[in-house]
Structure 1
Amino acid sequence: MRQVSPLWIVLALWAAGLGAAAQFGKASLSFDLLAPAWPGAGPTALGLFVSIVGVPGLILGTTAGIFVQAAGYRRVLVGALAMGAVLSALQALVPPLAVMLVLRVIEGLSHLAVVVAAPVLIAQVTPVARQGLAMSLWSSFFGVTYTLLAIFGRPLAEAAGPGALFLAHAGYMAVLALVLWQVLPRGIGGAAEALPRWGAVLRQHRRIYASARVAAPAFGFFCYTITYVAVLTLLPPFLGGALQVQLALWMPLVSIIVSLTLGVWLLGRLAAVRVVMLGFFWAAGMALGLWFVWGQAIWVLGLSLGLAGALGLVQGASFAAIPQLNAAPGDRAQAAGAVAQLGNLGTTTGTPLLALILADQGEAGLVGFVIGFALLGIVLHLWQGWRRGQMRST
């Protein structure tokens, strides 16, 4: 097989991440267009159509890291992309909602495999000096995907129907499966191993969350995902009017830009965990500022974009923390699995939780929600850092 530059491998893996993020995004941007196909479906059922793809990651995230390592990264990643292509093509037929939900759950397995395997491979093929940049690029996959879907995907769904969007996604996933089958070296990530017994899986599961190194990125990432996805989904329509359109487009873009510029610059000078905590501190400040300027459109716009930028620091540095805290590929796979698991916990619970808070408390609830989880993220990282210091001193 012809040698492929690590740069092209990283870009191909990142492109696979875009396809995985679109498994959420294609539903988020089209569920209102699909609602007439399922008359009688309430908001809870329609909300499940969007979020249920995260359920496998919520249940199996950490276990997936163990099994991906055992089954072989290249095989799992290519198979997951191919499976995602088939499932998206089936969803383009817009079957009854019960069938669609089953397909979405199965699609969640494809999503989980991609988000566990790809960042481990990116860290492995990237020189240490470039890992901060590469992991920040990887972390942008959700924001980039939502931006591209807002620009291209939504108009396609409106013009040709949501089925066309799902078919386009199926084609994209199929192409990426073929590309990565060609560019990924055989045996990358080490040779496939025998699948562990369930008793060993449970013991490894306990070890992962007991480790102040393996689990640390996941704890902070949970506080990020429960905030970012919920705010990105609910803040623009809550504000309404011209602000809704501007924030829906610019919030994900700002988070990407900050992650790939200021975030990369900081990662070259500070440990990734410190950048995560700095991002959370900045997010809390932006949220507090919103409390004082609510109702003043230009200030609300600026502080909302500042909040998105702060969370952009957190997203990039959280992934950069995986290789910084864990040298062995196996530990990195398990850390990525934990990130997927707790990240899916955040994406699954954050939006309905914030929706309830907004309905009851309005903007005060939004501010408290962001500040509360930002401070929790700082405290969790301080605690894990203290634990790592205790291990070094013994």
Structure 2
Amino acid sequence: MQDTSPHAPTPWPLILLLWSTGLLAAAQFAKLTLTIGPMQTLYDGAPVALAVSGVSIIGIIGGAVAGYLVARIGARKAVLWAVATSAVLALGQGVAMPFWAFMTTRILEGFGHLLLVVALPTMMVALAAPNDKSVVMGLWGTFFGVGYAVLAVVVPPVEAWGGIRAVYVGHGLLLAALFPVLWWVLPRVMAGASKIPDMISLHRTLYSHPRYFAPGLGHGIYTTLFIALVAFLPPVLDAMWLTAMMPLANLSGTFASGFIARRVAASHLSIFGFAVAAVCFALLAVTGSAALALLAMVATGITAGANFAAVPELNARPQDQARANGAMAQVGNLGTFSGTPLFALVAGSLWGLVGLSVAICLSGVIFAGYTYHRARVSTPLG
């Protein structure tokens, strides 16, 4: 059994295994994004695009509950249950079915995704040595972008049902193969916490204490930007090569933030990233420079990683980290869900896109900055 004492060295092979499990969680979104064209042909007339957000719906509704649930049953059980159910659902999606049934599997898949994005970082930070916690959370912050990038590389162009089936069944087989490995190596981290409160008390507790809420607020503001900018900014700049480069720039900032957070408080670093991004976006409106678009993505990546690193900075106990990660999942899914339609209102206009981006980044500086300040001066939990 893995040593989880405070003085134990960071078990990097296990950390990388947990991060790799996160890549398969990201694939729950990416697999449909990469097959959406043939899926629209397969389900002609059905709202296939809504199936991409089907996984987010559970995160929006149940993010807060997931944090308490993981705190109660333990991160090990949460990860194992999530991987097992996600494998079954992915394999099931390889069977021809009507759209309503497919949409049902997508919504159910959201439960597994939600448990993974709460339990995996909670376990990773609990296993990390104190000096490595910010680096580990910076690494975790890359899981979504890397998961998308890896799947985009390994999945060939899909045109018919046979290709769709191969993508979904392949995802399920990877999850199924991972399950016995995780069963064998995962330690017990944080189980037997107090009873889950009712929904109203649960949300009141989670969102009334800034140590729980501040990282989630910063993360939600960030997620409003990421997917929408990758979708809409390259065509406006007439630089479609940015579609591949912008996520890489963002990932570089996210990974670097973990190392920077060893010397700079993550709660300060998040606001710094928002401020630098706002300046870059403002200059982009004047110059139209693709280089400034990439610099802005690096800055927002720093913010993304800093928000994850702020969870252990503000919350010492694994139970509290799980609850903060629940808020991250809930507000982050809300940002992902709302960002694309919000930016679609100004798509096609460089001034519209960067103006909205500047406004969102400044809201991060003001509102996330204020909430982080309240968190730093508040009484520690526990």
Q: For residues 246-265 of structure 1, what are the alpha-carbon distances to aligned partners after superposition, in whole Å with 9 as ceiling and x for unaligned?
A: 2222211222222223x233
Q: Distance in 2 between matches of 1:346 and 1:358?
A: 18
User: Structure 1's 194 and 49: CA in aligned 2 closer, same or farther, altered over 3 A?
Assistant: same
1:354 aligns with one of 340, 343, 350: 343
1:273 maps to 2:267: yes
Per-residue CA distance 1:53-98 (angstroms, 9 max, x = gap): 1000000101110011112211111110111111111222342222
Deviation at 1:352, TM superposition (A): 1.4
TM-score, L = length of structure 2? 0.92
Where does 1:231-250 land on structure 2 (aligned, <5 Å)? 231-239=229-237, 243-244=239-240, 246-250=241-245
Answer yes or no: is the 8 Å Cα contact 1:78–1:178 preserved in 2: no
Distance (whole Å) between structure 1 residues aligned to residue 263 and residue 159 of structure 2: 46
User: Is 2:182 the partner of 1:180?
Assistant: yes
* Residue identity matched to 1:278: F
Aligned with residue 17 of structure 1, among 22, 25, 30: 22
Q: For the structure 1 residues 95 and 132, does the alpha-carbon distance in structure 2 shift closer, same or farther, using more than 3 Å as the test?
A: same
Q: Which residue of 2 aligns with 1:97?
A: 99
Query: Could you say if the C-alpha distance between residues 90 and 389 of structure 1 is closer, same or farther in structure 2, counting changes exceeding 3 Å?
Result: closer
Q: Which amino acid aligns with 2:242?
A: L
Q: Within 1, Cα distance between the matches of 2:346 and 2:135?
A: 36
Describe the shift of the 1:231–1:212 C-alpha distance in structure 2 as closer, same or farther (beyond 3 A): same
Q: What is the CA distance between 1:220 and its match in structure 2?
A: 0.4
Which residue of 2 is the match for residue 168 of structure 1? 170
Rounded to whole Å, the distance in 2 between the matches of 1:178 and 1:253 is: 32
Q: What residue number does 1:52 align with?
A: 54
The aligned residue for residue 276 of structure 2 is 282
Query: What is residue 200 of structure 2 aligned with on the other side?
Result: 202
Distance in 1, Cα, partners of 2:139 & 2:363: 25
Instruction: Give the AA of the match of 1:248.
Output: T
The alpha carbon displacement at 1:17 in A equals 0.8
- Unaligned runs of 5+ residues in structure 2 are 5-9
| Structure 1 residue 332, shift from structure 2 partner | 0.5
Letter in 1 for 2:196: P
Candidates 254, 261, 284, aligned match of 1:259: 254
Query: When you count helix as a share of all residues, which structure comes out higher?
Result: 1
Q: Which runs of 5+ in 1 are unaligned?
A: none
2:192 aligns to what? 192
Moved more, 373-382 or 125-134: 373-382
- Rounded Cα–Cα distance in structure 1 between residues aligned with 2:378 and 2:245: 43
Query: How far apart, in 2, do the equivalents of 1:385 and 1:319 lie?
Result: 13
Q: Which residue of 2 aligns with 1:368?
A: 355
Distance apart, 1:135 and its partner CA = 0.4
- 1:346-379 residue CA offsets vs partner (Å, 9 max, x unmatched): 11111111112216xx222211221111111111
| Corresponding residue SS for 1:50 | helix
372-381 or 338-347, which deviates more: 372-381
Instruction: Determine the C-alpha separation between the residues in 1 that align with 2:92 and 2:17.
Output: 25
Residues 30 and 234 from structure 1, CA distance in 2 versus in 1: closer, same or farther, beyond 3 angstroms? farther
Q: Distance in 1 between matches of 2:354 and 2:252?
A: 24
Determine the C-alpha separation between the residues in 2 that align with 1:99 and 1:84: 16
Q: Matches of residues 335-346 of structure 1 in structure 2 within 5 Å?
A: 335-346=324-335
Code of the aligned partner of 2:215: P
Residue number in structure 2 paired with 1:35 = 40
d(CA) in 2 for partners of 1:233 and 1:11? Answer: 29
Structure 1 equivalent of residue 225 of structure 2:
227
Q: 2:147 matched to which residue of 1?
A: 145
Q: 1:193 to 1:11 in 2, by over 3 A?
A: same
Aligned counterpart, 1:80: 82
Q: Contact (CA 8 Å) 1:150, 1:249: kept in 2 or not?
A: no
Which digits, 9 at most, give the CA deviation of each residue in 1:307-337, with x for residues without a partner? 2211110111110000000011111110000
For 1:307, the aligned partner's letter is: A
